[in-house]
Chains A and B, each alone.
Chain A
Amino acid sequence: MKKKQTNTNEWDTVIESEHSLFDINFKELWHYRDLLVLFVKRDFVTVYKQTILGPLWFFIQPLLTTITFTVIFGNIAQLSTEDSPKIIFYMAGITLWNYFSNCLTSVSGVFNANAGIFGKVYFPRLIMPLTIVISNLMKFGVQFLLFVCFIVYYTLINKITPNIWILLTPFVILLMALISMGIGLILSSMTTKYKDLNQLIGFGIQLFMYATPVIYPSSAVPENFKWVLDWNPLVGLFEYMRYAYIGIGSFDAYSLVYPSIFSIVILFLGILVFNKTQKTFMDTV
């Protein structure tokens, strides 16, 4: 093999097989920001094209889930909601959980779902997971609006007392986005090669929901299972929702420290793994 020395500096792009682990081109990502906006717009617009109820579907689905949960877990199984209105208790959990599980599922399948487009054109692959997280944020926003309507109603009839902590909501949502994206990115890299994981992820997310105080308050967890909640980074976020909006449960600012650190670490790891996978996945997908 001939060995030639080429000065790397005079070229714009070098295509090669060896990359350092931290070789992430954020400048390029920034260049493609318009694409991100257009993808998000596409996702949002195309969902309700040619449907009769249109954007109303964003409301109907969480509303039905809330009612189902209220009936099954609240009325039949009679799980504790710590004396808060059942419907608002479940809605707080479900709205947040939906966002997490939707993001995680879509991000972890991002390579398989977009193999067609990834195989034909190059753009920074990280745009796709970002699109998913932001598109879902829009859907979450709509559902959150519904939640806020209920909060206002129940506050007016003096059933609940939201407090000043609600101002921290954007931060908590951001943590949720980062964590779901981080975990999703790590999984996405594995699902490209071992498709069995796709089956496992759906099941795993369901299990994870029961290990997270979505449909029950953490105070209802027996002492010998408490360690599960201690490790779960999402616990603080769900406890926050209930504490800030409904005024139940225990919460303080320290509960957000662990999720914050966790989100940064997991996202960092996720991006590294994703970045490594995106270079070769076309040959293995």
Chain B
Amino acid sequence: MSKVVIKAENISKQYRLGLVGTGTIKDDMKRWWYKMRGAEDPFLKIGEANDRSSKGESDYVWSLQDINFEINQGDSIGIIGRNGAGKSTLLKILSQVTQPTTGKIYTKGRIASLLEVGTGFHPELTGRENIFLNGAILGMRKHEIARKLDEIIAFSGVERYIDTPVKRYSSGMYVRLAFAVAAHLESEILIVDEVLAVGDADFQKKCLGKMNDVSKGEGRTVLFVSHNLDAVKKLCNKGLLLHHGQLIHDGNIDSTLDSYLLNYSSNEQQSGISYDLDENKEAQILKVVLKDKDGKDVIEYFSDQEICIHITLRNTLLNKGARLNFSILDKFENVVFINRKDLDFTGTTEWVVQLPGDTLIANFYKIGLALDIPKVRVLDFPMEKTNLSIVNIAQDEFKYGDSENGIFKMPIQWSK
């Protein structure tokens, strides 16, 4: 059995909402009064889940609630969850930047955390000076840094600027240097927050490769938070899924990702839109719902999944040439493709548009709908559009493109 290097017991973290700093003397006194009598802190009793969008009753929220887990040596753990799920709070507690309100975490070995790249970089100092400073901040001794200096500089790829003050660096160079320092830390446990969002694709790849080496090659433990599910999937073998401060799932990375995508990935984005009935319109789009082929509501599709769009329409005109314009738009609302169908009914009906899986590349799209009589008039053109997001979970290695490149998966034949 592998060695447990991190063990969390009943970790909870409470935050106070609103303007911290005003009116706290009163609460402080109250806390102190309870403490003097040996009672529990009165403000810790309020157990309210941390739901950002709904207004709670109390000024105190639990950012993390009763989290228990164990992490073995050499594991790489992906921590996933929506914004505000408590991922960063957990990392902050693990990095000892803040302490839990209740509970304990036991750790074995040195922890290096990279919650932000370039913490403590001083703009006036040169790259070389900053390597030493940053390394020391992250807990390295000077001789350790000196030993790894060449390696760090080589990895960062900014040799030419190494004796120039970092304020002259481009933001990309800055990040490269900062990550290079952190990646060469000699620690048993490496904690990385969403830091790879900056830097170009080439460097991101290099970073992920380095992190892979760290966990798989060197047997060190890596904790990784990212919204880039693809990166998480490639890098991690286990996952922790947080939702509203609670640990929902703790298992291997595939099951964690599945659980996330199916249940928690989004709530701003609904699986459809309903429009208010407007009697003045001769024809109208009433409802759009995204479903899978079994008729279940879907928020995000996997790239190989069949997309079924259910559109509810109302029509009072027959044989006047009215038609539905169905289009898929990219995130900038450029039309990817369009398809039209005549309205051959009156009253209300539901149409299903089926898009085959493995056609669109994983990305964010919108569904554009309009009703018109060509060259005569527009009957209905709702501005609020349904979002369609497709995520890449099958490991395509971006063979067909990525969110920046390409739209379709084209079944090309290669031959010699």
Contacts and interface: CB of A to CB of B under 8 A. Distances in A.
Interface of A: 1-2, 4, 6, 8, 10-17, 31-32, 34-35, 37-39, 42, 45-46, 49-50, 116-123, 193-195, 279-280, 282-284
Contacts of B133: 35, 38-39, 42
A17 B21 contact: no
A13 B120 contact: no
B136 A32 contact: yes
Interface in B126-158: 129, 132-133, 136-142
A219 to B, nearest CB: 44
B15 interface: yes
Contacts of B16: 283
A16 B98 contact: no
B234 interface: no
Contact of A195 (B21, B99, B129): B21
Contacts of B277: none
A122 B95 contact: yes
Interface string B108-133: 11110101100110101100010011
B340 to A, nearest CB: 54
B97 A118 contact: yes
Contacts, number: 121
Given A49-B124, A283-B15, A17 B98 contact: no
A38 B132 contact: yes
B21 A117 contact: no
A35 B124 contact: no
Contacts of B104: 6, 14-16
Contacts of A32: 136, 139
B115 A46 contact: no
Contact of B136 (A16, A38, A116): A38
Contact of A193 (B15, B24, B109, B111): B24
Contacts of A31: 139, 141
Interface of B: 7, 9-10, 15-16, 20-21, 24-25, 66, 68, 92-111, 113, 115-116, 119-120, 122, 124-125, 129, 132-133, 136-142, 165
A42 B122 contact: yes
A34 B138 contact: no
A15 B15 CA distance: 18
B103 A16 contact: yes
Given A2-B10, A6-B7, A38-B133, A122 B113 contact: yes
The 7 closest A-B pairs by CB, nearest first: A35-B136, A11-B106, A122-B96, A15-B105, A34-B142, A16-B104, A120-B119
A11 B107 contact: yes
A164 to B, nearest CB: 40
B108 A4 contact: no
Contacts of A16: 99-100, 103-105
Contacts of B9: 4, 6
Given A12-B109, A120-B119, A121-B95, 6 more contacts: A1-B10, A6-B7, A13-B107, A38-B136, A122-B113, A195-B21
A49 B164 CA distance: 13
A17 B104 CA distance: 7
Nearest to B107: A13
Nearest to A49: B124
A280 to B, nearest CB: 7
Contact of B94 (A14, A15, A123): A15
Contacts of A194: 21, 25
A12 B141 contact: no
A45 B125 contact: yes
A46 B93 contact: no
Contact of A284 (B21, B136, B137, B138): B21
B107 A12 contact: yes
Q: Specify which of A10, A14, A15, A46 lies most central, judged by the most chain B CB atoms within 10 Å of its CB.
A: A15
A282 B98 contact: yes
A211 B24 CA distance: 33
Contact of A17 (B92, B95, B99): B99
A1 to B, nearest CB: 6
A117 B93 contact: no
9 contacts: A2-B10, A6-B9, A10-B108, A13-B111, A49-B165, A117-B120, A119-B97, A122-B113, A123-B137
